[in-house]
């Protein structure tokens, strides 16, 4: 897909960010180019339509999942809900703890955003070890909804994150 090639050409590599030995893939140059950003959103919408035609809610992961999720949801005429780090969301919450390199973090959702059995697609920018996506899937399951698809722009295949995520997972660009 030539649209994906144009997206890939704008992703900028940053060696040793945020710490030595990490090669960070920066997606923000894509968002600075409206024509290519639009092409990326078009492809993401097509993927959701193909893989999860019955989707009822798009869930975006803090924070770069928020850059794509709402635009995709609008195009599909369905709602959007955020998964956020602990303490950011008001009201009744469900939460899940997940392991980081050092220690743990907690993800939260607002319970009122979900209906039992609802078909959910989770969106994020990048799949690395898969710990983030796995935790998000567990959280959505906890509120009684049904993750039908996980969609990321970039997958770092060496880290085998896909093996950790038990739900169907689509990536547009792999390294």
Q: Residue 166 to residues 68, 130, 148, 169: CA-CA distances in angstroms?
A: 22, 10, 11, 9
To the query of whether residue 64 is one of the catalytic residues in this protein, the response is: yes
CB of 35 to ligand 5GP, least distance (A): 21
Q: How many residues does the chain have?
A: 175
Per CB under 6 A, contacts with ligand 5GP among 51-70 are 61, 64
| Whether the Cβ atoms of residue 119 and residue 138 lie closer than 8 Å to each other | no
CB of 126 to ligand 5GP, least distance (A): 4
**Beta-carbon-side half-sphere exposure of residue 35 (alpha carbons within 13 Å):** 3
Among the candidate windows 52-60, 67-75, 76-84, 121-129, which touches ligand 5GP by CB under 6 A? 121-129
Q: What is the 3-state secondary structure (H, E, C) of 115-156?
A: CCCCEEEEEEEEECCCHHHHHHHHHHHHCCCEEEEEEEEEEC
Q: Which of 122, 151, 161, 171 binds ligand 5GP (CB under 6 A)?
A: 161
Among the candidate windows 24-32, 46-54, 66-74, 112-120, which touches ligand 5GP by CB under 6 A? 24-32
* Under rule CB under 6 A, residue 166 binds ligand 5GP: no
d(CA 41, CA 141): 26
* Under rule CB under 6 A, residue 167 binds ligand 5GP: no
Burial bucket for residue 98 (CB in 10 Å: 0-12, 13-18, 19+): middle
* Under rule CB under 6 A, residue 40 binds ligand 5GP: no
* Under rule CB under 6 A, residue 31 binds ligand 5GP: no
* Under rule CB under 6 A, residue 7 binds ligand 5GP: no
- Given the residues 25, 64, 108, 149, the one annotated as active site: 64
Q: Which of 128, 142, 162, 170 binds ligand 5GP (CB under 6 A)?
A: 128
To the query of whether residue 101 is one of the catalytic residues in this protein, the response is: yes
| Whether the Cβ atoms of residue 168 and residue 133 lie closer than 8 Å to each other | no
Residues that bind ligand 5GP (CB under 6 A): 24-25, 27, 61, 64, 124-133, 161
């Amino acid at each position: 897909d030539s649209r994906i090639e144009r997206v890939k050409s704008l992703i900028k590599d940053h060696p040793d960010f945020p710490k030595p030995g990490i090669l960070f893939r920066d997606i923000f140059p894509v968002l600075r180019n409206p024509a290519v950003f639009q092409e990326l959103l078009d492809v993401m919408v097509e993927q959701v339509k193909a893989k999860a035609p019955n989707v009822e809610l798009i869930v975006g992961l803090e924070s770069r999942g928020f850059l794509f999720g709402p635009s995709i949801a609008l195009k599909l005429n369905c709602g959007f809900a955020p998964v956020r780090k602990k303490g950011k969301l008001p009201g009744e919450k469900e939460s899940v703890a997940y392991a980081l390199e050092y220690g743990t973090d907690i993800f939260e959702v607002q319970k009122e955003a979900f209906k039992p059995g609802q078909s959910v697609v989770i969106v994020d920018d990048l799949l690395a070890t898969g710990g983030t996506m796995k935790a998000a899937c567990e959280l959505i399951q906890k509120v009684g909804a049904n993750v039908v698809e996980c969609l990321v722009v970039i997958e770092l295949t060496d880290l085998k994150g896909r093996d950790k995520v038990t739900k169907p997972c689509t990536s547009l660009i792999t390294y």
